[in-house]
Structures are given as C-alpha cells and as structure tokens.
Amino acid sequence: MSVCQERELNSNLQSINLGSLAPGSSARLVSIPEHPLLYSLGLRPGKIIQCCGCQLFGGPLMIKTGDRQVALSKIIAEKIIVDII
C-alpha cells in the first residue's frame, strides 16, 4: 500500500511541519523539500522518525530515524511535512 493510499484510509492523521513536532513524538514523513543531503541522511517519504528535541536559541532540531540521529536546521525542518502517529 502506498503512502497516499494509507493516508486516505487514515484520514484522522494530523499533518504538521517537522519544526512543530513536540519532543518525544513520532511521525511519518510525508513531504520533503529538494535538498541534496536529506535523502543521504535517510529521510524519505514514508519513513518513521522521532523528535529528540531542539537546541536553544533557534539551534538545530534533533530527530532519530532508525538507529541514526540527525540534526536539521529549523529552516529545513519547517519545510518537511509529517503525519503525527
């Protein structure tokens, strides 16, 4: 089943940008901007991620995907759309 078909079946999913995800929350990636490093970091639509927290003073957002932790700038995180699960 594709991500789009699953999204239609689970219409109660809430979509937000990754920058708004609360620490400790899990989400499924829906939309990712064109950026040369995001796919190499393992970020792809359909992937499950967990928000680990955000650094102070507008610093990077820390997320976990699989066994990898990744730091993303707030600007990039706000362009990534996720479904809260």
Which class for 49: exposed (0-12), middle (13-18), buried (19 or more C-beta within 10 A)?
A: buried
Closest CA to 23 of 62, 53, 57: 53
Under the banding of pLDDT at 50, 70 and 90, the label for residue 5 is very low
- What number is the average pLDDT over the span 11-34? 89
Say whether 77 sits in a helix, a strand or coil: helix
Homologous superfamily in CATH for domain 3-84: Ferrous iron transport protein A (FeoA) (2.30.30.90)
Residue 6 has pLDDT above 70, yes or no: no
State the pLDDT at residue 63: 95
Bigger pLDDT: 32 or 36? 32
State the pLDDT at residue 45: 94
DSSP code per residue over 1-26: --HHHHHHHTTTPEEEEGGGPPTT-E
- What number is the average pLDDT over the span 21-39? 92
The domain locations on the chain are: 3-84
Q: Phi and psi for 27 in degrees, rounded to 5?
A: -155, 160
